[in-house]
């Protein structure tokens, strides 16, 4: 069958579902006793998915025998692959991420994933997000699950309200993203348990990092500090290149700890500019994927980074941090758990000086002597997760 014919069939099915199916559905009250298959849809960014892991753990405890799955985009797959609470991970590629040359091909691949989900016949689908989005709600609707929970749509999206059967109001006051995801337990009459972040490490990634540290002579000689360059540039959420260079130069003159400069594949060019501005060889680590970054973050005694996915991964591994914030709300997005210092001055990270970061580093180095990582109640240990591995 030709691609055009397949797309025509797909679009025709979309039309039928949108305009003919909506008024036929009879919405039934949620019966937790009849929920055997559950799908979580979390198709946004890395930090958002990391912040969903406490919700996943709570949902698993409430439905220990259910088939529990999640749908994420390719960008965040590493966050949930290997999570012991999940039976299956569905992954799709967003057209804007450019894996496929044609948008039509990306849509077709997404359609195939949605068809696979639909065949599974889920009882419950949860579109977990801060606000209603048509794309996420559509995915939930297409599953044909009996119960579909999502955010209340705004005035412009009201015509798509039928995509969900039950709704979670948008909070009317600032709450951390982790607490907002736990709100999705309420329609299920589930009592909220501990909110603990989790990121599944792999032995391959840990071996990769161990080899890097050994090669650089950084094995347990001194406390290890990581300076991580953001991989998602946004207005107000980036720190100037020259400040990274100034920070690295200043730390070079200290002899009581070692420093690694790290960056993701999307920031290689920027990282090379910063490294070239230095007059000394600076150990640097390219975190080519999230699993490797997580293993690297776990090996650190202290991580310095800006608000974003890497910050939340570090928090999930219990690594104490100095986190630089710009426009994001600290109450909603600060690193979860104890032992972190958050710096914020107005709506831009660039308002934070090198001196501010150095002062925070000094305080964190003093704190690190108290083993805050071990005492952190906001983190689920790797050993505990391994004993509960269901995969």
CA dihedral 210→216→217→222, nearest 10 degrees, is: -80
Residues pairing with 192 in the sheet: none
Q: Is 34 exposed, middle or buried (0-12, 13-18, 19+ CB in 10 A)?
A: exposed
pLDDT at 278 over 50: yes
pLDDT at 171 over 80: yes
Q: Tell me, what's the pLDDT at 2?
A: 56
Higher pLDDT, 205 or 383: 205
Q: Tell me, what's the pLDDT at 101?
A: 61
Q: Give the span between the Cα atoms of 221 and 223, in whole angstroms.
A: 7
Q: Are residues 237 and 178 in the same domain?
A: no
What average pLDDT does range 349-370 have in this prediction? 89
Q: Which domain holds residue 155?
A: 23-188
Question: How would you classify the pairing of strands 147-151 and 224-228?
Answer: unpaired
Q: Are residues 177 and 214 in the same domain?
A: no
CATH number of the domain residue 231 falls in: 3.40.50.2000
Q: Tell me, what's the pLDDT at 342?
A: 96
Q: Are residues 86 and 178 in the same domain?
A: yes
Q: Tell me, what's the pLDDT at 340?
A: 95
- Judged by average pLDDT, the poorest of 72-81, 161-170, 268-277, 363-372 is 363-372
Q: Are residues 184 and 207 in the same domain?
A: no
pLDDT at 30 over 80: yes
Q: Percentage of residues in the chain with pLDDT exceeding 90?
A: 72
pLDDT at 370 over 80: no
* 82 located within any domain: yes
Q: Percentage of residues in the chain with pLDDT exceeding 70?
A: 86
* 11 located within any domain: no
* Residue whose tokens read 């650190």: 300
* 291 located within any domain: yes
pLDDT at 214 over 90: yes
- At which of 188, 217, 245 does a domain end? 188
* 273 located within any domain: yes
pLDDT at 15 over 80: no
Cα–Cα–Cα angle for 266, 267, 272, nearest 5°?
Answer: 135
Q: Are residues 182 and 255 in the same domain?
A: no
Q: Are residues 135 and 173 in the same domain?
A: yes
* 276 located within any domain: yes
Distance of alpha carbon 306 from its chain centroid, rounded? 15
What confidence tens digit (pLDDT) does each residue in 320-338 have? Answer: 999 999 988 899 999 999 9
* Residue whose tokens read 């804007």: 96
What confidence tens digit (pLDDT) does each residue in 71-121 have? Answer: 999 999 999 999 999 999 999 987 555 566 667 787 888 899 999 999 999
* 10 located within any domain: no
Q: Tell me, what's the pLDDT at 20?
A: 47
Phi-psi region of 272 (alpha: psi -120 to 50; beta: other; left: phi over 0): alpha
* 5 located within any domain: no
Residues pairing with 124 in the sheet: 38, 147
Q: Are residues 172 and 242 in the same domain?
A: no
Question: How would you classify the pairing of strands 321-325 and 124-127?
Answer: unpaired
**Model confidence band, residue 133 (pLDDT cutoffs 50, 70, 90):** very high
Q: Are residues 171 and 316 in the same domain?
A: no
Give the phi and the psi of residue 365 in degrees, each rounded to 5.
-65, -35
Q: Tell me, what's the pLDDT at 256?
A: 81
Q: Are 297 and 317 in contact (CB under 8 A)?
A: yes
Q: Are 196 and 205 in contact (CB under 8 A)?
A: no
Q: Are residues 181 and 327 in the same domain?
A: no
Give the Å distances, CA to CA, from 15 to 8, 12, 18, 107, 111: 11, 5, 5, 16, 14
Q: Tell me, what's the pLDDT at 369?
A: 66
Q: Are residues 93 and 234 in the same domain?
A: no
Question: How would you classify the pairing of strands 341-344 and 321-325?
Answer: parallel
pTM: 0.90
Number of domains in the chain: 2
Q: Tell me, what's the pLDDT at 290?
A: 97
Give the Å distances, CA to CA, from 370 to 341, 367, 376: 15, 6, 11
Residue 204: CB atoms within 10 A of its CB come to 10
The b-or-e profile of 276-295 (16+ CB within 10 A means b, else e) is eeeeeebbbbebeebbbbbb
Q: Are residues 127 and 244 in the same domain?
A: no
Q: Are residues 342 and 267 in the same domain?
A: yes
**Model confidence band, residue 390 (pLDDT cutoffs 50, 70, 90):** very low
pLDDT at 12 over 80: no
**Model confidence band, residue 319 (pLDDT cutoffs 50, 70, 90):** very high
Q: Give the span between the Cα atoms of 89 and 379, in whole angstroms.
A: 22
**Model confidence band, residue 378 (pLDDT cutoffs 50, 70, 90):** confident
Closest CA to 90 of 57, 115, 63: 115
* 94 located within any domain: yes
Q: Tell me, what's the pLDDT at 72?
A: 98
CA dihedral 224→361→316→137, nearest 10 degrees, is: -130
- At which of 139, 156, 188 does a domain end? 188
- At which of 188, 211, 240 does a domain end? 188
**Model confidence band, residue 391 (pLDDT cutoffs 50, 70, 90):** very low
Q: Tell me, what's the pLDDT at 270?
A: 95
User: What's the whole-number average pLDDT of the chain?
Assistant: 89
CA distance from start to end of the chain: 37
pLDDT at 23 over 70: no
What confidence tens digit (pLDDT) does each residue in 190-212 have? Answer: 999 999 999 999 999 999 999 99
């Amino acid at each position: 069958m030709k691609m055009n014919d397949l797309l025509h069939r797909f679009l025709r099915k979309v039309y039928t579902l949108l305009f003919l199916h909506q008024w036929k559905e009879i919405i039934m009250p949620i019966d937790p006793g009849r929920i055997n298959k559950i799908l979580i849809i979390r198709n946004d960014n890395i930090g958002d998915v990391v912040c969903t892991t406490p919700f996943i753990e709570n949902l698993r405890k409430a439905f220990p025998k259910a088939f529990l799955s999640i749908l994420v985009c390719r960008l965040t797959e590493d966050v949930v692959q290997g999570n012991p609470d999940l039976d299956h991970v569905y992954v799709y590629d967003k057209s804007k991420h450019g894996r496929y040359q044609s948008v039509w091909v990306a849509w077709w691949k997404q359609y195939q994933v949605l068809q696979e989900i639909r065949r599974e016949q889920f009882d419950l689908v949860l579109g977990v997000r801060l606000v209603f989005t048509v794309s996420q709600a559509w995915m939930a609707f297409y599953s044909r699950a009996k119960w579909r929970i999502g955010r209340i749509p705004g005035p412009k999206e009201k015509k798509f309200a039928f995509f969900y059967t039950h709704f979670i109001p948008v909070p009317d006051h600032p709450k951390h993203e982790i607490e907002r995801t736990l709100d999705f337990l309420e329609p299920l009459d589930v009592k909220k348990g501990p909110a603990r972040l989790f990121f599944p490490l792999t032995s391959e990634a840990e071996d990769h990092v161990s080899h890097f540290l050994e090669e650089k002579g950084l094995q347990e000689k001194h406390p290890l500090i990581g300076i991580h360059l953001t991989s998602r540039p946004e207005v107000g959420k980036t720190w100037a290149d020259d400040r990274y260079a100034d920070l690295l130069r200043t730390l070079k003159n200290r002899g009581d700890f070692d420093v690694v400069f790290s960056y993701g594949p999307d920031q290689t060019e920027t990282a090379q500019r910063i490294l070239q501005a230095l007059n000394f060889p600076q150990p640097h680590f390219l975190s080519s994927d999230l699993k490797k970054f997580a293993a690297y973050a776990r090996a650190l005694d202290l991580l310095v980074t800006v608000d974003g996915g890497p910050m939340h991964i570090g928090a999930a591994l219990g690594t104490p941090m100095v986190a630089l914030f710009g426009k994001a709300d600290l109450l909603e997005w600060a690193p979860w758990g104890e032992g972190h210092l958050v710096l914020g001055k107005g709506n831009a990270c660039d308002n934070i000086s090198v001196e501010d970061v150095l002062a925070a580093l000094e305080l964190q180095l003093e704190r690190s002597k108290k083993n805050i990582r071990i005492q952190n109640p906001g983190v689920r240990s790797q050993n505990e997760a391994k004993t509960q591995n269901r995969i």
